């Protein structure tokens, strides 16, 4: 083979390699047309695959590349959080005043919420089926309101917290699990799971 042909092949090979390197944009966000996605100030946006080994001079020369992965993580809302607290740990039976033991449980939640980007907190009170529906609903509402008041006292924005009393409308126990209608110790214990306060937190 002539030297001139070998030179052409060598040049083509170099060009192909250079082109492949130049087109390795996996470390950056690119649009449908292959151009770099840039922020409002014109800086390139890195993808989660970026490493120094695949850095492109066009984006790195000015030292103004944005770490897109961090931006995406920051912009993604955390998953909703649900906390279910047994009423026995919060209130005396049939009462709506928070007991001393309730403070420790609620303070754990407050610690999690402090500094978080909270969008909404729904506090829902539930009772067992013993007693009238009207009294149970009122008791559940008072208990939810007591929890809301405590969260506010610990610095949680009151505009974010909604308190609702469901009464006995959403029991945890099966209808056939606890028999009887008289409020005896055995039935009260059997229905314990129904007496609770649920706190659902959604984040921005």
Parse the chain into domains and list their residue ranges: 3-74, 81-203
- Confidence (pTM): 0.62
Query: Domain 81-203 belongs to what architecture?
Result: 2-Layer Sandwich (3.30)
pLDDT per position as a tens digit, 44-93: 767 766 777 777 777 765 444 444 444 444 445 678 999 999 988 899 88
CA Rg value for the chain:
31
Look at 7-16, 52-61, 175-184 and tell me which has the smallest mean pLDDT.
Answer: 7-16
Instruction: Supply the angle between the helices 133-153 and 100-113 in degrees, to the nearest 10.
Output: 60
Q: Using DSSP, how many helices (H) and how many strands (E) does the chain show?
A: 7, 4
pLDDT beyond 60 at 126: yes
* pLDDT averaged over every residue in the chain: 80
pLDDT per position as a tens digit, 194-204: 999 999 999 98
Q: What is the dihedral of CA 96, 101, 102, 104, to 10 degrees?
A: 170
């Amino acid at each position: 083979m002539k030297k001139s042909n070998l030179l052409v092949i060598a040049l083509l090979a170099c060009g192909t390699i250079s082109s492949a390197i130049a087109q390795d944009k996996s470390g950056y966000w690119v649009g449908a047309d292959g151009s770099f996605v840039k922020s409002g100030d014109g800086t390139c946006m890195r993808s989660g695959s970026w490493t120094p080994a695949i850095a492109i001079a066009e984006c790195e020369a000015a030292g103004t590349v944005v770490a897109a992965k961090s931006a995406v993580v920051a912009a993604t809302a955390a998953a909703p959080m649900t906390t279910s607290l047994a009423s026995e740990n919060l209130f005396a039976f049939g009462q709506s005043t928070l007991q001393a033991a309730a403070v420790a449980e609620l303070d754990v939640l407050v610690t999690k919420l402090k500094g978080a980007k909270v969008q909404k907190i729904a506090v829902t009170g539930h009772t067992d089926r013993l007693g009238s529906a009207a009294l149970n609903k009122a008791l559940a509402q008072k208990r939810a309101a007591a929890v809301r008041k405590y969260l506010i006292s610990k610095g949680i924005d009151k505009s974010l917290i909604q308190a609702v009393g469901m009464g006995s409308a959403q029991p945890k126990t099966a209808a056939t699990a606890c028999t009887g209608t008289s409020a005896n110790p055995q039935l009260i214990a059997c229905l314990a799971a129904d007496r609770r306060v649920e706190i659902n937190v959604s984040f921005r």
